[in-house]
Amino acid sequence: MTQNPTDLSGSRNKKLADLLRHGPIVPVITLERVEDAVPLARALVAGGLRLLEITLRTPAAADSAAAIIQDVPEAVVGIGTVLTPNDLERARKLGARYALSPGATPDLLEAASESEMPFIPGIATASELMAALAHGFQTVKFFPAVAAGGIPALKALAGPFPQARFCPTGGIDEKNARDWLALSNVVAVGGSWVCPTSDIRAQAWDEITSKAQRAVVSVKD
Ligand code: 3PG
């Protein structure tokens, strides 16, 4: 039976709220080699980070996500850098639990609003946020968070949009993650600082586990 858009939005929001319980830190992961995928995911999970974003930025991305979904059941895998309805469909077929985008084109919002998979569109302005809200997406990525105005920008958006919830990414690190999470409209923060490309290339899994553990400690309480 086809569900109506309001039902879909309600079930997506509920699923997303359940997923976000595994936060509040989301490693933004870019994989160049499929063989790094499973050890990286295990390193992050060992460090206390389960909610992952695998970006569709490399040829290895889709196979990497599939390998993690199959071999690391503790990981809660989302697909990021979803730029088109076709990417969204790829994410769904891979078995991703959710999808994220740095932006929010009309096509993408339309496709995502017809899908059961939770989706976090990206916004950097009030108008983009209004388009996301109009399609039933109350939880959005604020990207590029630091470059787009940082914490003052998000505080300003809280005024006209008290219903919106944000996952800032872009420039978040161990030093400022806690400050972002202190905002009442921030439900999670994302970033690559826990799994930088240099560490992945070096297969420095213990170092990545340490970075993850430090991140968890840095946002405690
Ligand atoms: C993203 O897609 O969210 C960003 O590329 C992550 O930004 P960062 O590398 O500054 O953490």
CA 152, chain centre distance (Å): 21
C-beta 27 within 6 A of ligand 1:
no
End-to-end CA distance of the chain: 44
With a 6 Å cutoff on the Cβ, whether 170 touches ligand 1 is yes
The pLDDT value given to residue 1? 42
pLDDT at 23: 86
The pLDDT averaged over each successive group of 10 residues in the chain (221 residues) is 67 89 94 98 98 97 97 97 97 96 96 94 97 95 97 95 96 95 96 97 98 94 71
CA of 136 relative to ligand 1 center, distance in Å? 24
Distance CA 201, CA 56 (A): 18
Residue 13 corresponds to which tokens in the numbers above? 């929001």
Domains of the chain: 5-212 (3.20.20.70)
- The answer to whether the beta carbons of residues 136 and 117 sit under 8 Å apart is no
Closest by CA position to 138, among listed 19, 18, 9: 9
pLDDT at 4: 66
Which of the residues are catalytic? 53, 141
Tokens of 59: 């040829």
Is 30 close to ligand 1, i.e. is its CB under 6 Å away? no
